[in-house]
Structure 1
Amino acid sequence: MQITDMLAQAGGLQSIARELEIEPHEARSGAEALLPAILGGLRKQAQGGGGGGLGDLLGQLGGGELMDQVLAPQKTDVAPGDAVLGQIFGSRDVSRTVAQSASAQSGLSPELLKKMLPLLAMLVTGFMSKQGAAAAAPGQGGGLGGMLGGVLGGMLGGGQPGQQGGALGGLGALLDANGDGNALDDILRLAGKARG
């Protein structure tokens, strides 16, 4: 099952649609366009952190509670989502570049996608934290990293695990200019050019 479907089943996409006052199909389209960049950023963190790095990071950023906040009926405080984006992207310029690129793919406005990004980051971080806690046996640090690889492998139906070029699918494949399977380095270069 694709992560977009998992988030929809958990009620996350409906919560984003309600919060941003958009149609559910728009929330899904925006999520499908933004998720490869968010997952690519998490993957970069996991590769750089070693051991239980990703699990530790998800816990530090708020863990499963982040998902609960988005699913709650009251308006979501997006500050934790901005913190997640800051951790995985490093700058607002990258978030803007991701929103612009996702806009070209989804047909939704960059302004709407910029509002969606922190909510989606909270949803994904919380979801992965809950899934990782359920899946990882005590003493196994690699559970979340393996799960992230599996999610990326099935992302938007693109590629098989291990075929990194297609694993990011959609936006990730479009942004992965150097074909290394991780679009984040290419996004960072784009942001650098936009800033200059």
Structure 2
Amino acid sequence: MALLDIISQAAGSAAIEQVGARVGLTPAQSRAAAAALLPALAGGLKRQSGNSDLGGLLAGLSPATAAGAAPDLGNQILGQVFGSKDVSRTVAANAATSTGIGVDQLKALLPLLASLSAGALAAPRAGAAPAAQGGLAGMLSLLDQDGDGDPLNDILGMAGKLLRR
């Protein structure tokens, strides 16, 4: 399941537009910005899925609290996910090039999307099996690229690709 789908399911379809409005984006710009920023964020979350510091930030987070969170929480999450502000800046600059949206607005949006993503991943989702709801299970569902309910084969596939490089 794609990160945008997880956010929409957990926080509602208007969540992206609401956080985009906080940095002055129109609904269409918000969707375009999310489409450009979320793949890098999802990739970073996948790489850090076993990080206990990131797990601590996710604990107790919900879509509602994450959507209204101050950028500080999002910046903490980005620090865990990307490791440095330079990576966040590069992600925003690349998204600015592909969307035509100002890099400053995208840099301001990125921590809000990080908070929203973390809240969505930490939240139980309707229709999910009880053992596969929220928290770490939300991270595991993001890792399950083929949607078969078993992220281990996808993790092993990613590891195999890394080893072949």
The TM-score normalised by the length of structure 1 is: 0.62
- Residues 109 and 124 of structure 1, relative CA distance in 2, 3 Å threshold: same
Q: Which residue of 2 aligns with 1:45?
A: 48
CA contact (8 A) 1:66 1:126 kept: yes
Identity among equivalent pairs (%): 35
Distance in 1 separating the partners of 2:35 and 2:146: 14
**RMSD, aligned CA:** 3.3
- Residues 129 and 88 of structure 1, relative CA distance in 2, 3 Å threshold: same
User: Within the alignment, does 1:97 sit opposite 2:100 as a pair?
Assistant: no
Aligned AA (2:72): A
| Aligned positions, number | 147
| Offset of residue 32 of structure 1 | 0.8
Determine which of 59, 73, 77 is the counterpart of 1:80.
73
User: Within the alignment, does 1:113 sit opposite 2:106 as a pair?
Assistant: yes
Local SS of the residue matching 1:61 = helix
User: Within the alignment, does 1:149 sit opposite 2:143 as a pair?
Assistant: yes
Q: Which residue of 2 aligns with 1:68?
A: 64
- Residues 153 and 30 of structure 1, relative CA distance in 2, 3 Å threshold: farther
Question: Unpaired segments of 5 or more residues in structure 1?
Answer: 155-160, 168-179, 182-196
Distance in 2 separating the partners of 1:102 and 1:153: 26
Local SS of the residue matching 1:21 = coil
The TM-score normalised by the length of structure 2 is: 0.72
| Offset of residue 145 of structure 1 | 4.4
Determine which of 29, 33, 36 is the counterpart of 1:30.
33
Q: Which residue of 2 aligns with 1:189?
A: none
Q: Which residue of 2 aligns with 1:176?
A: none
Distance in 2 separating the partners of 1:128 and 1:105: 26
| Offset of residue 60 of structure 1 | 1.2
